[in-house]
Amino acid sequence: MSVFNDAIQNFLSPISDLLDDESISEIMINGPFEIYIESKGKIIRTDNRFKDNDNLMAAMRAIAQAVGKKFDEDDPRLDAHLPDGSRLAAVISPISTNGTVVSIRKFFKEKIILNDLIEWGALSKDAARFLDICIYLGKNMLVSGGTGSGKTTLLNVLASRISDNQRIIIIEDTKEMDLDDQHVVHLITRKEDPAQNIKAVGTKELLHSAMRLRPDRIIVGEVRGAEALDLVNAMNTGHDGSMGTVHANNPPEACLRLETLCLQAKTSIPANSLKLMISNAVNLIVQTKRFSDGKRRVSHISELLGVNDNGSYRLKDIFKWVQKSKDPETGDLVGELVACQYLPTFFDQIKVNRLPFPSSKFEAPDWVKKIKKAA
Ligand SMILES: Nc1ncnc2c1ncn2[C@@H]1O[C@H](COP(=O)(O)OP(=O)(O)OP(=O)(O)O)[C@@H](O)[C@H]1O
Ligand SMILES: [Mg+2]
C-alpha cells in the first residue's frame, strides 16, 4: 500500500498544497487547468494546474489501481478514498464534456464533535443539548439535507453520543462514519463485478443481516433506495434510536422522499398505511443546509406527528434557524437556531427521566416573537 501512497502523492503533486491545507474542504478539478477549492464555505479558483490531461488521468488511474478498480472509457466513473481518507469522485468523457472532472471531499483531520458544531454556529447550545437528550431517549431520527450540506458529519456526531453499552450497526456504501471506543459493527455494501464473479450486496440485504446481528441501534449512512421500507420497519419493530440520512431540502420533503423510496420496494401496502407507518417510525427530522453565505447549519429540528386528512405529513418545528440580519462586510448571515414555542409530545419522558431540559427551553425568544408579530 505504501508504494501506492508514494505513487499517488507523486501524481497528485500539482495539488499537494491544496490537499495539505486544513482550511480547504473540497477540491474541484474541471480538466487539468481549471481547479477550484471550497474554503470556509466559499468557492475560489486557484492557480494550480496539472501539466496536461494525460497527467491528470495518470493520477486517477493510479488511484483506481490502488483501490482495485478500473477507470477508462468502458468504466468512466470512479469513486474512491485517498490514503488520508478523503473521498474522491471522478468522471471522464464521454460522460463529462469538460474532460476529466474530479471532486475531492476532504474531511477534518481532527474528529468533529458536538462542541465544534456549536462553536461554528451550526447548532445552538440548547438545540445540541436537546438532540443529545433525543439520542439518550432513543428517538428515531432522519438527518435530511442537500448534497454536501453536512448530513454525514452530523450523523456521525449524533451517533458518537450513543452510550457505550449499546450495540450500533452502521451500514454505508463507503466507510465515512468513524466512531471510537463504541460497540460498533460496520457493514459496507459491495458492487457487482461479473468479471470477477463478485455479486452485489446492497443496503437492503445488509439491513436484513443487521437485524439478525442483535442491533440496539441501526444507522444507515444514506437511505436512497428500497431499503427505506426495511429501515421504517426496523424503526417500528423496536429498534428505537435508529438513524439515517436522506437527500431533501426541508422536513416535509424528507418525509415524502422517504415515502417515495419505500415505494421502490414495490410493496402492496396501501399509500395511507405507508404514510402512517412512516409517521409512526420517524420521530424527528434534523435538517442541514448550506446557506447562501456558504456556512453549513442545522436549519430545522422538527417532530413528525402524523398525517393530515389530505395525506400531507404533520410536522412541528421544535427549533428553527431564524435570520436576524446580514454582516455588511463579510456577507455572512447573522441569526440563531431558536426554540419555536412548541413542546414536543415526548416532553413527559424528558421530565420523568429527570433530564436537565426544562419546558422554558422550548419558548421562543422575544426577538423572534417580535419578528413574527411584525410579519
Ligand atoms: N457544520 C459544518 N461547518 C463546516 N464544515 C462542515 C460542517 N459540516 C460538515 N462540514 C464539511 O462539509 C463537507 C461536507 O460534509 P458531509 O460529507 O457531512 O456532507 P453530506 O451532506 O453528507 O454530503 P453528501 O451529500 O455528499 O453525502 C465536509 O468537508 C465536512 O467536513
Ligand atoms: Mg454524506
Is the Cβ–Cβ distance between 92 and 71 less than 8 Å? yes
Q: Helices 53-66 & 2-11, crossing angle to 10 degrees?
A: 160
Q: Are residues 301 and 193 in the same domain?
A: yes
Distance 372 CA to ligand 2 centre (A): 34
Looking at residue 1, what is its pLDDT? 44
CA of 149 to the centre of ligand 2 (A): 8
State which residues form the domain around 178.
114-374
In whole angstroms, give the CA distance from residue 257 to residue 66: 36
Q: What is the pLDDT along the chain (375 residues), one digit of tens a residue?
A: 455 578 788 899 999 999 999 999 999 999 999 999 999 888 999 999 999 999 999 999 999 988 888 898 888 999 998 888 889 999 998 888 888 999 999 988 788 999 999 999 999 999 999 999 999 999 999 999 999 999 999 999 999 999 999 999 999 998 899 998 899 999 999 988 887 888 999 999 999 999 999 999 999 999 999 999 999 999 998 889 999 999 999 999 999 999 999 999 988 999 999 999 999 999 999 999 999 999 999 999 999 999 999 999 999 999 999 999 999 998 899 999 999 999 999 999 999 999 999 999 999 999 888 887 887
In this structure, the answer to whether residues 43 and 173 fall within a common structural domain is no
The residue among 84, 105, 126 that closes a domain is 105
Nearest Cα residue to atom 5 of ligand 1: 296
Of 79, 105, 131, which residue constitutes the final position of a domain? Answer: 105
The residue contributing the CA closest to ligand 1 atom 10 is: 150
Cβ-proximal residues to 53 (8 Å cutoff; 6+ apart), any chain: 31, 32, 99, 100
Which of 105, 132, 160 is where one domain is finished?
Answer: 105
Atom 8 of ligand 1: nearest residue by CA position: 150
C-alpha 108 – ligand 2 centre gap (Å): 14
Asked whether residue 100 falls in the same domain as residue 126, the answer is no
The per-residue pLDDT for 4 is 58
CB 123 within 8 A of CB 117: yes
- Identify the helix (H) or strand (E) that includes residue 333: strand 333-339
Pocket of ligand 1 from Cβ distances under 6 Å: 25, 105-108, 117, 120, 122, 145, 147-153, 296
126 and 87 share a domain? no
Claim to verify: residue 65 and residue 143 sit in the same structural domain: no
The Å distance, Cα 68 to ligand 1 centre, comes to 27
CATH of the domain at 367: 3.40.50.300
Give me ligand 2 centre to Cα 355, in Å. 31
Which cell numbers hold the place of 167?
Answer: 450495540
- Number of structural domains the chain divides into: 2
pTM of the entire predicted model: 0.92
Together in a domain, 131 and 90: no
- For residues 145 and 68, membership in a common domain is answered with no
Residues 180-201 as b/e (b if ≥16 CB within 10 A, e otherwise) read eeeebeebebeeeeeeeeeeee
Of 159, 107, 115, 117, the C-alpha closest to 138 is 159
Ligand nearest, relative to CA of residue 220: 2
**Whether 16 and 100 share a structural domain:** yes
| One domain, residues 25 and 52 | yes
